[in-house]
Amino acid sequence: MEHQKPIATPSRTKEILNKYGFSFKKSLGQNFMIDSNILEKLVTNAGVTGAAGVIEIGPGIGALTEQLAKQAKEVLAFEIDQRLLPVLEDTLSPYSNVSVIHQDILKTDVTHFIKERFPDQEVKVVANLPYYITTPILMKLLMDQLPITDITVLIQKEVAERMSAQPNTKEYGSLSIAVQYYTEARVVMNVPKSAFMPQPNVDSSVLQLKMRKEAPVYVENESFFFDLVQASFGQRRKTLMNNLSRHFKGQMSKDEISAILDKVQIDGRRRGESLSIEEFASLANGLYTYVN
């Protein structure tokens, strides 16, 4: 086979789109990568080796998939847009180690696929995620507690900042806590808008989440903990006390909440954004014991 240019170049992307008369669907947040250097860096940063099984979400026309296939042992790519299946079959034909699965990742039992396809190997998630649905996808991957080592994703810069944020910053919120609970997060690199077709109106970043072997804090009940964290950020300008009494209305009085805040030595006049994950854990455990 003649040596072809990488898919992630403007000319090759246009050629593929024209060949299939493909039009971008706004509703699917489709922005394809047209800079293969950035994709190669992404794959290197993800630590993809010949022993790794990789799960990709939203392969598009195969720009990142191709770079993954060159490095990984096997790639399993989930694509929701049926129109892309024949395109991928064509663009990825040189790579026998790629399988494309036509499924909505949010409705997929990913653990089942991992056990079936990658029974005894290291598994990573590497993806250029569609902007409009980044958070639900990442939350699902974390909540499902998949048997994976890490997640390396190209996402909107602002979301990457929220996910890796520290207390007392405007980016810090319930999302930061959830990410911190399951993973160690870091922003690996920033990516300009010009690397995409069509160009989005925002910059992007590569976020890497390394799965923790165990949570950094002990919580009595995970779903209660996450509900409480969310409630604490319910209205950011309001105090912890205000947000909590709204959340527990009918379950606990202000005095009871106040007593528990005193017991765990947290000032109810603080705002949610000032609490560390450790403080949220002790507050959640105190309240959980009381409510149950």
Residue numbers in the known binding site for S-adenosyl-L-methionine are 31, 33, 58, 79, 104, 128
Tokens of 249: 């209305």
Answer for the pair 6, 63: CB distance below 8 angstroms, yes or no: yes
Tokens of 150: 């890490």
How remote is the C-alpha of 228 from its chain's centroid? Answer: 21
Tokens of 174: 């319930």
CA angle 44, 91, 54 (to 5 degrees): 35
Annotated binding residues, as ranges? Answer: 31, 33, 58, 79, 104, 128
Answer for the pair 266, 275: CB distance below 8 angstroms, yes or no: yes
| Antiparallel, parallel or unpaired: β 204-211 and 150-156 | antiparallel
Question: How many C-alpha atoms does 118 have within 13 Å on its Cβ side?
Answer: 26
Whole-angstrom distance, CA of residue 196 vs CA of residue 237: 36
Answer for the pair 111, 146: CB distance below 8 angstroms, yes or no: yes
Whole-angstrom distance, CA of residue 279 vs CA of residue 287: 12
The runs of H, that is alpha helices, within the chain are 10-20, 36-45, 63-71, 85-91, 110-117, 134-143, 157-163, 174-182, 222-232, 240-247, 254-263, 277-291
